Amino acid sequence: MKNIRYSIDKSSDIPLYVQLSEQLKRDILSGRIADGEKLPSRRELTEKLRLSKNTVELAYRRLIDEGYAVSRSRSGYYARQTSPVNTNISEPDFYGTPGISYVMSQNGTDLDAVPYGTLIKLCRDISYDMPELFKYGHKYGESQLRKAIAQNLYDLHGISCTPDRIIIGAGPDFLLQQLACALGENALFGFENPCFARSYVPLKNIGAATELIDTEMDRFPIEKLKQSGITVMYLSPDMQFPTARRLSEEQRNEILAWAEAEPDRYIIEADFDLDFSEDPGSALAAKNPEKVIFLGSFYRGIAPSMNVAFVMLPKAVKDAFNQRLPYYTCLKSRLEQQVIAEFIRSGKYRSHTEKLRKLYREKRRILKSALMSSPLAPYIKIHGVNSGTYFVISVENGMNETELKEAAAKRGVKMISLSACFITMNELLPRNAFIIGFGELTAEQIKGAAACLIRAWAI
């Protein structure tokens, strides 16, 4: 770069170093200064622009901080156009499909219902009142949070446990991997097919032994479990994903009897939408906490970014956990744990989940009413309990699954098919079935999405 054409106005209120850095940045972004091209030396700019060395140094430091220049030892400064600091990141995701107006995600939550003000105030107050949170915490998680969870489990679900049986972790998938290590190489984990892949895949990734049981829409095939070699069965009794099925009390007792028949058998009871479930059945962990491992989290009950999870362990499993994972470390922020603990302890968590329960009930009613009062009604069947943020719909209008999905997308509706959740093919479940989520949509958006589906699938 030989020609220096910059003009510095020393009478301006804008600092001299800012004027210089902005003009250099303009030339870098326009391409007049090429990516990687050497910039004028500090001495050259000092002499030609009659600036102090400190002014030029500040200008270059500003460019470096913003990502538009790099400094190389004993060589000088070089222009940089493609820096992580000044480059917009664009990655494909579930929400980035062009032409989609309604994302009917089964995992969607109503972000307008998140108690932002309360959480922010708790975060601020706890930060001021508890400076000790910047020190190391207990390896199994904050004692206040474990106490709050133990009390909450008893109040809401009748599950009795002591806080020392509870372990806090960075998401359910992480805790499942730790659990697999604690249970040892002889454990054989059972999963329904289809299942929640975010639980199944993490165990497969660490080499844990797994076995699948083809499930049905309205019942769990207990006879297949009894014939298998499974020692640890993963279940969501109140809201099985993706079928949205609830186990009957009879089936709960049968599965619990299977676990009680052998000392090394356990059930992992995964809490999916349980805290805002309508008319939930009795928790398996309440029936026998020594044979049931209860797995829960707060990312749906509080906010998606608060992926704090916990696991309640039977005594024998906790002893094994202590022995085989002596260096376990809780990877969640102590501050975040304390915020959740106070949110539960104050009673706000319970009132918030009750609010969500009513909110999702009304959204579900709006969506079901729109579909079942339409000309599409004779050709569809809705599966699942009246809980949570989704249900399953099977369609028999002469179109196949691909045609149904493409027709919906052309009308601006995105959803996933039930078959997308299959680990292996399952002939026991209906074809042409879709998971219809409504949690994050407003009432008006739900009506709009339903209208689009009705037009897309009209025959």
What CATH number does residue 130 fall under?
Answer: 3.40.640.10
Q: Are residues 397 and 366 in the same domain?
A: yes
Provide the domain limits for residue 175: 116-346
CA dist 86 → 32, 70, 79, 330, 423 (Å): 18, 13, 13, 34, 41
Q: Which of these ranges, 80-94, 320-334, 356-370, has the smallest mean pLDDT?
A: 80-94
Both 134 and 64 in one domain: the answer is: no
Instruction: From 330, 346, 362, give the residue that closes a domain.
Output: 346
Neighbours of 243 (CB within 10 A): 26
Identify whether 206 is part of a domain.
yes
Report yes or no on 235 lying in a domain: yes
Residues 65 and 121 placed together within one structural domain of the fold? no
Q: In sequence order, what are the residues at sequence separation of 6 or more whose Cβ sits closer than 8 angstroms to the Cβ of residue 21?
A: 58, 59, 60, 62, 63
Q: What pLDDT band is residue 3 in, cutting at 50, 70 and 90?
A: low
Considering the domain architecture, whether residues 55 and 136 belong to the same structural domain is answered as: no
Single out the residue of 458, 427, 451, 440 nearest to residue 108, CA to CA.
Answer: 440
pLDDT of residue 93: 57
What pLDDT, in 10s, does the model give residues 10-20? 988 898 999 99
Domain boundary among 325, 346, 367: 346
Report yes or no on 87 lying in a domain: no
* CATH number of the domain within which 430 lies: 3.90.1150.10
Domains of the chain: total: 3
Q: Examine residue 92 and state whether it is found in any structural domain, yes or no.
A: no
* pLDDT greater than 60 at residue 302: yes
CATH of the domain at 65: 1.10.10.10
Does 120 reside within a domain?
A: yes
Q: Are residues 170 and 298 in the same domain?
A: yes
Q: Is residue 96 part of a domain?
A: no
* Whether residue 334 is found in the same domain as residue 370: no
Q: Is the peptide bond before 242 cis (omega within 30 degrees of 0)?
A: yes
pLDDT band of residue 306 (cuts 50, 70, 90) is confident
CA distance 457 to 459: 6
Same domain, 71 and 122: no
Residues 228 and 259 in one domain: yes
Determine how many CB atoms are found less than 10 A away from the CB of residue 447. 15
**Percent of the chain with pLDDT strictly greater than 90:** 70
Parallel, antiparallel or unpaired: strands 390-395 and 433-437: antiparallel
Residue 74 shares a structural domain with residue 170: no
**Are 235 and 257 found together in one domain?**
yes
Whether 339 is covered by a domain: the verdict is yes
Judgement on whether residues 336 and 435 belong to the same structural domain of the protein: no
Indicate the angle between helix axes 348-372 and 334-345, nearest 10 degrees. 80
pLDDT of residue 2: 55
Confirm whether 2 is domain-assigned. Answer: no
- Same domain, yes or no: 338 and 396: no
Show which of 329, 346, 363 is a domain's final residue: 346
Output the average pLDDT for the chain.
Answer: 91
